[in-house]
Amino acid sequence: MVSQSSAQTLNPRTVHREFFGVPGALAVMTGTVSVVFVWYFSCNPQVGCQLPTTHEQWTHILRGAFNYQDYLSSTALVAYTVWWAWLALLYFVLPGHVVEGVELRDGSRLKYPINGLSSFFVTLAVALAAYTYWGTLPFVWVADHYFQLAVSSILFATAQALFVYAYSFRSSSVMLALAGNSCNPIYDFFIGRELNPRLGPLDLKYFCELRPGIMGWVLLNTSFAIRQHTVFDSVSNSMWLAIVPQIAYCVDTLVFERNVLTTMDIVTDGFGWMLSFGDLTWVPVMYSLQARFLAFHPVHHSSPMAALIAVMAVASFLVFRLSNSEKNAFRTDPNDPKVRHLKYITTESGSKLLVSGWWGMARHINYTGDWFFGLAQCLAAGFETPMTYFFAVYFLVLLLHRNYRDECKCRDKYKKDWIRYCEQVPYLFIPYVI
């Protein structure tokens, strides 16, 4: 039994509430779900793909949203549950290195299996077997039932968030997220009360971060490409420009799976509705928007334009990957021959902050590469509708918010050393610009 004073020391009461507290949490939950509905009913083969600006368009959206019989599907819900359970099974049974995460507030370290990439390849093998047996039918079904699956993922993500919120009260020794112990049930349910909810060895936050959503994004993109080929008897160069970089990004994420253990999502954030919905719904459903649009409206780029988009995607991805790899190599071993030439400052806390290499160019140079990489996929969808550029706009807002959180956290942690660091690395995103 943990004493009340020990529990309060381990899990201090949350004072600062992000997103403006309960009103912001409610706004984010209703707003993001609404975006999923609006972008589906405004961008589909029946109505085209235009921003809703007229009374008739909004009437169509509301009528479709209230006509729930068309998208609440027990078949889709079962299919989604089987998808989640299949990947959870692979999490348990596939071999892989077991690594320790960062040190927690109580001095302990959790263990994580690194088998996401092998889970992907086993799932790919099953998909190829399904294609061999049934042809394109399973993938066309996924594309045609996209919205039913999207709604199923919303229901599943919300049920999961309710479960982990209730589960977090099982013991006073449970480690809570510093931002998720406000004692307001709405806010804590949204932001995540428990830091690392686990069912036995299954770490729900770590599992959802990379498995159902990331691999679901690949499945949706592939299904939309197959759907386009089924209807138009070819796959446009715009579809290839959209899905190949995205699939490569997903595979890259799984290749560097252990790097996620040092991210803010795993280290700092609790696992609540925000991450549950973000991982299971938002990533696969909204990030596959370009492929979904191109499935019913192919765009054919000229060779110079296609080459420009491809070069932009490759260059921005290299900025993202090389900068992150440099940072992770330095964190792992500053004396590694690949990074020991880099300059850094040592803070009073003992941490080392890079002031040369990629991280001497800008404090968040990886965000720059990440955003331009996403913009390249938006460009692949052409210029006929602004709706396919939602990802670029949303991702910019997300990265700016992450930057704000990072800057506040580092300013509080490093204090005067952070001021000294900012003087040596004055730019946030783009050297000599901003």
The phi and psi torsions of 392 (rounded to 5 degrees) equal -65, -40
Which parts of the chain register pLDDT below 50?
1
Whether the Cβ atoms of residue 190 and residue 163 lie closer than 8 Å to each other: no
* Residue in the structure block whose two tokens are 């400052």: 345
Q: Where are the strands (E) in 223-350, listed by range?
A: 344-346
d(CA 213, CA 254): 12
pTM: 0.93
Whether the Cβ atoms of residue 284 and residue 153 lie closer than 8 Å to each other: yes
d(CA 206, CA 262): 11
Q: What is the pLDDT of residues 269-308, one digit of tens each?
A: 999 999 999 999 999 999 999 999 999 999 999 999 999 9
**Token pair listed for 26:** 């409610």
Contacts of 104 (CB under 8 A, 6+ apart): 110, 175, 195, 196
* Residue in the structure block whose two tokens are 């000599």: 432
Kindly state the DSSP code that residue 279 receives in the 8-state scheme: I
Q: What is the pLDDT of residues 367-405, one digit of tens each?
A: 999 999 999 999 999 999 999 999 999 989 988 988 888
- pLDDT in the model for residue 2: 53
- pLDDT in the model for residue 5: 54
**Token pair listed for 340:** 């020991």
**Token pair listed for 315:** 């260059």
Coil/strand/helix, residue 148: helix
d(CA 394, CA 375): 11
Smallest Cα–Cα separation from 192: which of 273, 264, 280?
273
Coil/strand/helix, residue 74: helix
- Distances in Å between the alpha carbon of 312 and those of 363, 377, 380, 387? 22, 10, 11, 21
- Helix crossing, 390-414 with 289-296: angle to 10°? 180
Whether the Cβ atoms of residue 217 and residue 248 lie closer than 8 Å to each other: no
Find the angle CA(267)-CA(271)-CA(274) to the nearest 5 degrees.
Answer: 110
**Token pair listed for 111:** 């263990």
Find the angle CA(393)-CA(298)-CA(41) to the nearest 5 degrees.
Answer: 55
- Residue type, position 165, single letter: Y
